[in-house]
Amino acid sequence: MTSEDKTYASIQTCLVEEKREIIPKIVVSKLEKKPWTIGKYRKQTWGVSLHSIGPYVGRMKPSLAHWLVRICSETGDVVLDPFCGIGTVPLEADLLKRHAIGVELNPYALVVAKAKFDRKSLTEQIEWLRQVRLDIDSVDLAAIPNAIKQFYDERTLRELFALKEKIKEASNIFLLACLLAISHGHRPQYLSSVTGYIVPHKKAKNRPVYKPVIPKMIQKVKRMYTSSFPKQTSSEIINGDARKLPLKDETVNVVISSPPYYSTIDYLDSNRLRLAILGVEEQRTLKSELIQHAKSYLENMEKVGLELYRVLKPRALCVFVLGDFPKQKVVVNTAEEISKVFTKIGFSTHGIVADEIPIMKRTVVKWIGTEGLKSYPKKFDRILIMRADK
């Protein structure tokens, strides 16, 4: 048995045999073993197929979400993710028999997150797609911005928008998320010309060709059902703001989340094409509402902290996964900055676990290649473990 196997086995034994007291000291000791980096959990594709409905920049690795939920909560707990993105934490919490609540402002991320809880049967989804009739002549191409049209063959574009309207009429959030997911990308299963998987960078020499939308959608839906998952759920995704949570006081057992990364990720611009297809026109206005600007970041996170303190039960945990912020020649430890802000509110900090991001998993590899990686600076996610002391 390898050292990794022994570590994993000890964690498993601990979780099964010991009395599950969700107290900071135990939580930190388990997180420091980093079970999400061991065995099958180290794979980026680990987990149910629902995790791959749609791409999203900066999303949490599913196995990390799994272990955070598993270590920091118990069956039946209310697990809140106030920045749920595409719903990675809520999905894992739901699968582990918690009542998950996800809150999100980004319209594209909201669609994908909600889709993970819109669980009709595969047969029902496929039959609907096979029977739907598209009126492609009714699509007004003149009303579609050139920023969208440049990526598509005209017939594909007409089918894409005609199907989107049919899906919206049917209120099928799952199919809408699947359509947005395949709307652009770098492989044959995507509808656009070859472009970035998440960020839509169009290659000049790459001309759009016709790609039939319904067959591509059927293939996509089938891929989403390659692993089993329960059809029933008690969890929910809410269109809301973490600074003004639509929840009652002291109703949450634990907060597990990856808040916006201190002005290092643009969550709207990265998904601008999918947002445009969805029909979000005022993206600049929406961007001003999100917490992703360096100057106002800590001020906004203080507002978030006040709300989390309000909705958390006494002595409940708040666990954040945060990235460092490069500021000029200094790297700001975001976890330490958030810890200071939340301490003033009434939280106590019980540990910060550094989780190094493997260089081969980072986008920098695409730009600098594999040579010289040893000299490239290390990058960390930091898991901040706090408790609401009230």
Alpha carbons within 13 angstroms on the beta-carbon side of residue 75 total 3
Query: Taking residues 186-200, what's their average pLDDT?
Result: 86
Nearest to 107 by CA among 32, 180, 5, 8: 180
Q: What is the pLDDT of residue 293?
A: 76
Contact 86, 53 (CB under 8 A): yes
User: Mean pLDDT over residues 272-283, rounded?
Assistant: 87
Residue 377: per-residue pLDDT: 60
Check whether 1 has a pLDDT greater than 80: no
Average pLDDT over residues 30-52: 94
Residue span(s) of the chain under CATH 3.40.50.150 come to: 3-105+232-267+278-388
Chain segment 337-365, per-residue pLDDT in tens: 999 999 999 999 999 999 886 654 544 44
What is the per-residue pLDDT for 203?
64
The per-residue pLDDT of the chain, averaged, comes to 87
CATH 3.40.30.10 fits 3-105+232-267+278-388, yes or no: no
pLDDT: which is higher, 219 or 194:
219
The answer to whether 271 and 198 have CB atoms below 8 angstroms apart is yes
Of the ranges 4-8, 111-115, 327-331, 368-372, the best mean pLDDT one: 111-115
Tell me if 55 sits within 8 A of 44, measured CB to CB. no
> What is the DSSP pairing of strand 325-327 with strand 330-332?
antiparallel
pLDDT tens by residue, 278-296:
998 777 777 777 777 778 8
pLDDT reported for residue 123: 97
- Asked whether residue 14 carries a pLDDT value surpassing 50, the answer given is no
pLDDT tens by residue, 242-252 = 999 999 999 99
Name the band, by pLDDT with cuts 50, 70 and 90, for residue 274: very high
pTM, full prediction: 0.88
Which pLDDT score is estimated for 368?
A: 43
pLDDT of residue 375: 54
CA nearest to 311, candidates 76, 161, 103:
103
Pairwise CA distance, residues 183 & 207, whole Å: 16
pLDDT at 176 over 90: yes
Alpha-carbon distances, residue 23 vs 89, 140, 238 (angstroms): 20, 58, 28
Give the pLDDT band (50/70/90) at residue 53.
very high
pLDDT in tens, 127-175: 999 999 999 999 999 999 998 999 999 999 999 999 999 999 999 999 9
pLDDT in tens, 306-329: 999 999 999 999 999 998 877 777
Instruction: Give the DSSP H/E element, type plus range, for residue 182.
Output: helix 173-182
* pLDDT for res 17: 39
Q: Please report which confidence band the pLDDT of residue 115 belongs to, taking 50, 70 and 90 as the band edges.
A: very high
Q: Which tops the pLDDT comparison, 239 or 21? A: 239
If you average pLDDT over residues 40-58, what whole number do you get?
A: 92
pLDDT at 2: 53
More confident residue, 361 or 176: 176
Q: Specify the pLDDT at position 263.
A: 64
In percent, how much of the chain has pLDDT > 70? Answer: 86
Q: Check residue 127 and give its pLDDT.
A: 98
**Pairwise CA distance, residues 215 & 132, whole Å:** 12
